[in-house]
Structure 1
Amino acid sequence: MELQKLAGLAPSPAIESEKNTLLNLRMSTFTNNAPSVVYSEFTSFYCRALNSSRNFMYMSPELATAMRTNILSEVQTALIEYEANTPYWFVSRFEGVFGEGVITPFYDYHTIFQAKALILQEPYNKLVNYLDVPAVPIGDLYYIQNLITLIEMGSP
Structure 2
Amino acid sequence: MADDDSGTLSELLMHAARAQRRRWRELLEPWDLTPSQSRALRVIGDGDGTRVSDLAEALRIAPRSATEVADGLEARGLVERTPDPADRRAVLLRMTAAGRSIRDEVAVARAADARAFFGRLAAEDRVALARLLRELAG
TM-score range, shorter chain: under 0.3
Instruction: Report the TM-score when normalising by structure 1.
Output: 0.25
Task: Select the structure that is richer in helix.
Answer: 2
